Chain A
């Protein structure tokens, strides 16, 4: 069922770019999302972190918007949900910071640090990475939606 819709969108010549771009983008978007989540989750062990992973996730959705059309991308993640995720990431970061206030001071690393070089370690740092990644990714996707919808320059011929 869902495969049919994807095939229909891919072979529709009226929207988006050509068939070659759509076929490559269909494979690449999944890989980019996976790589973005990997960069976010392993941010405290390897290079990367919330900022880089968040921008990768935003670029995956921007690629969807450029290769297919704006309608397809907005059906996957609408501008309403992008702003909701933006606010949720910000709120999660501040809530984690305020919980630390109960244990000592603002932004106190209150969770057990665990064994180093393991995935579950370093206290609040992976949680903060996830919150920042969601926040940055949703915010940059929202700003691209804004430039795409409202930022259309009308030339003199169109008027």
Chain B
């Protein structure tokens, strides 16, 4: 419960960064922070008290493993999500570079001549 709340505070700070800041790099940073928070929340949902990692060792009994291992499904989903985050970060960086080349500023409130 306390862990969930602390994680959601990080999410709210990321949303605040997206709303209130006008620098484009700050907005990209806000997206990164939201992504960390969501990944961490999904992994938190799958943790089991005194659990072991979902990797079977040769000397391990299968029923013991199935009783004590943590949830492998959120880990598999988050693993793809992290690499997708890197791809979208590169795409956002490309957008920021092009906007700077056209308008000579990173300030969002001055980029209002958006047409064409």
Contact = CB atoms under 8 A, between A and B. Distances in A.
- Taking the complex as a whole, does A directly touch B, i.e. does some CB pair lie under 8 Å apart? yes
Interface of A: 46-47, 49, 51, 55, 116-117, 136, 139-140, 143, 146-147, 151, 153-154, 156
B93 A147 contact: yes
Contact of B94 (A47, A117, A136, A147): A147
Q: How large is the interface on B (under 10, 10 to 19, 20 to 34, 35 or more residues)?
A: 10 to 19
A70 to B, nearest CB: 17
A51 B83 contact: yes
A143 B85 CA distance: 14
A63 B39 CA distance: 28
Nearest to B86: A140
Contact of A153 (B82, B83, B100): B100
B93 to A, nearest CB: 7
Closest 9 CB pairs of A and B: A117-B58, A143-B90, A151-B97, A51-B83, A153-B100, A51-B79, A153-B97, A136-B83, A153-B101
Interface in B81-99: 82-83, 86-87, 90, 93-94, 97
B79 A151 contact: no
B55 interface: yes
B80 interface: yes
A151 B96 CA distance: 10
A55 B87 CA distance: 12
B104 interface: yes
Given A49-B79, A151-B97, 19 more contacts: A46-B55, A47-B53, A51-B79, A51-B82, A116-B56, A117-B58, A139-B87, A140-B86, A143-B87, A146-B94, A147-B90, A147-B94, A147-B97, A151-B93, A151-B94, A153-B97, A153-B100, A153-B101, A156-B104
A47 B53 CA distance: 10
Nearest to B101: A153
A77 to B, nearest CB: 18
